[in-house]
Structure 1
Amino acid sequence: MATSSPPDTKVAAPSDETTILAPASLSDYHACTDENDDQLEKKLVRKLDMRLIPWLAILYLMLSLDRNNIGNARLGGLEQDLQLKGNEYYTALTIFFAGYVIFHIPSNLVVKRLKPSIWISFTMVMWGICSLCQAFTHNAAGLIACRFFLGVFECGVGPSIPLVLSFWYQRDELALRVAIYFGSSTCAGAFAGAIAYGVLVTLDGAHGIAGWRWIFIVEAIPTIVLGLLSIVVMPDLPSSPNRHWLTPEERQLAIKRTTVSGNTDKHFFDRNQFVAALVDYKNWLAVLIYVGLNVALGSYAVFLPTIIRDLGFASLDAQLLSIPPYVAACCLVFLVSWNSDRTLERGFHIMGVSALGVLGYIFLLASENVGLRYTGAVLVACGIYPIIPLTLSWVSNNQLGHTKRAVAIAMVSMIAQVFAILGTQIYRTEDGPRFIRGHSVCLAFLTLSGCAACALRFLLRRENNRRDREYGQAEVKDLSTLEDIDTLYDSHPQFRYAL
Structure 2
Amino acid sequence: MLKSEDSLKEAGIVVEIAPLVSTECPFPSAHKRLVRRMDLRIMPILSAMYFFSALDRSNIGNAKVAGMNTDIGISDSQYSTAVSIVYATYLPFMLPGVLLMMRYFNNKKREYLGCMVGLWSLVSIFTMFANSYGSLIACRLLLGLFEASFFTSISLIISDFYFQSELSQRVSYLFAASAFSSAFGGLIGTGITKINSGLAPWRYIYLIEGLLSFAGSFWMMFGMPNTPEEVAHGEEEMKVLEWRSEQRRLFMMKDGDKKSEALAAFRDPKVYLSTIIQFCQDILMYGFSTFLPSILKSDLGYTSLQAQYLTVPCYMFSGIVFILAARISDKTRIRGPLIIFLDLFGAVGYALILGNTSSGVKYFACYLICMSLYVPGLNEAWLATNLAPRFKRAVGLGINQTLGNIAGVVSAQVYRNPPKYVLGHAFTLGCIGMGIICSGLSTILLVRRNKANIRACETGIDTRGLKRDIGDDSVEFRFVT
TM-score normalised according to structure 2 size: 0.90
**Which of the residues 153, 159, 166 maps onto 2:159?**
166
Contact 1:269/1:403, CA 8 A, preserved across alignment:
no
Q: Is structure 2 residue 399 aligned with structure 1 residue 406?
A: no
User: CA separation in 2, counterparts of 1:374 and 1:297?
Assistant: 17
Shift of 1:269: 7.5
User: CA separation in 2, counterparts of 1:250 and 1:269?
Assistant: 32
**For residues 342 and 97 of structure 1, do their structure 2 counterparts lie closer, same or farther at Cα, with a shift above 3 Å needed?**
same
Shift of 1:101: 0.6
User: CA separation in 1, counterparts of 2:246 and 2:192?
Assistant: 49
Structure 2 equivalent of residue 116 of structure 1 = 109
User: CA separation in 2, counterparts of 1:412 and 1:377?
Assistant: 27
Structure 1: gaps (5+ residues): 10-32, 475-483
Q: Is structure 2 residue 261 aligned with structure 1 residue 273?
A: yes
**Which of the residues 119, 131, 141 maps onto 2:124?**
131
Report sequence identity in percent: 28
**For residues 258 and 94 of structure 1, do their structure 2 counterparts lie closer, same or farther at Cα, with a shift above 3 Å needed?**
farther
Structure 2 equivalent of residue 73 of structure 1 = 63
Contact 2:167/2:381, CA 8 A, preserved across alignment:
yes
User: CA separation in 2, counterparts of 1:157 and 1:332?
Assistant: 24
* SS in structure 2 of the partner of residue 148 of structure 1: helix
Structure 1 equivalent of residue 356 of structure 2 = 367
User: CA separation in 1, counterparts of 2:373 and 2:209?
Assistant: 24
Structure 2 equivalent of residue 441 of structure 1 = 427
User: CA separation in 1, counterparts of 2:357 and 2:210?
Assistant: 38
User: CA separation in 1, counterparts of 2:64 and 2:256?
Assistant: 43
Contact 2:276/2:435, CA 8 A, preserved across alignment:
yes
User: CA separation in 2, counterparts of 1:410 and 1:49?
Assistant: 24
Q: How does 1:299-448 map to 2 (within 5 A)?
A: 299-310=287-298, 311-385=300-374, 387-428=375-416, 430-432=417-419, 434-448=420-434
One-letter amino acid of the counterpart of residue 128, structure 1: S
**For residues 277 and 34 of structure 1, do their structure 2 counterparts lie closer, same or farther at Cα, with a shift above 3 Å needed?**
closer
Q: For each residue in 1:137-172, what CA deviation from the matched residue of structure 2 results, as whole angstroms up to 9, or x when unmatched? A: 111111111111111111342221111000100011
**Which of the residues 236, 249, 264 maps onto 2:226?**
236
**For residues 124 and 486 of structure 1, do their structure 2 counterparts lie closer, same or farther at Cα, with a shift above 3 Å needed?**
farther
Contact 1:346/1:498, CA 8 A, preserved across alignment:
yes
Shift of 1:263: 4.1
Q: For each residue in 1:290-339, what CA deviation from the matched residue of structure 2 results, as whole angstroms up to 9, or x when unmatched? A: 01011111211110000011201101110011111111111110110000
Q: Is structure 2 residue 25 aligned with structure 1 residue 46?
A: no
**For residues 100 and 259 of structure 1, do their structure 2 counterparts lie closer, same or farther at Cα, with a shift above 3 Å needed?**
farther
User: CA separation in 2, counterparts of 1:182 and 1:306?
Assistant: 22
Q: How does 1:112-261 map to 2 (within 5 A)?
A: 112=102, 113-114=104-105, 115-202=108-195, 204=196, 206=197, 208-238=198-228, 242=230, 246-247=233-234, 249-251=236-238, 253-254=240-241, 256-261=243-248
**For residues 299 and 255 of structure 1, do their structure 2 counterparts lie closer, same or farther at Cα, with a shift above 3 Å needed?**
farther
One-letter amino acid of the counterpart of residue 287, structure 1: T
Contact 2:166/2:330, CA 8 A, preserved across alignment:
yes
**For residues 455 and 273 of structure 1, do their structure 2 counterparts lie closer, same or farther at Cα, with a shift above 3 Å needed?**
same
**For residues 417 and 8 of structure 1, do their structure 2 counterparts lie closer, same or farther at Cα, with a shift above 3 Å needed?**
closer
Q: Is structure 2 residue 473 aligned with structure 1 residue 495?
A: no
Q: For each residue in 1:325-361, what CA deviation from the matched residue of structure 2 results, as whole angstroms up to 9, or x when unmatched? A: 1111111101100000000100011101111111110
Contact 1:167/1:258, CA 8 A, preserved across alignment:
no
Structure 2: gaps (5+ residues): 1-14, 461-465
* SS in structure 2 of the partner of residue 102 of structure 1: coil
Q: For each residue in 1:437-473, what CA deviation from the matched residue of structure 2 results, as whole angstroms up to 9, or x when unmatched? A: 1110000011111111000001111121122233229
Contact 2:283/2:411, CA 8 A, preserved across alignment:
yes
Shift of 1:488: 2.0
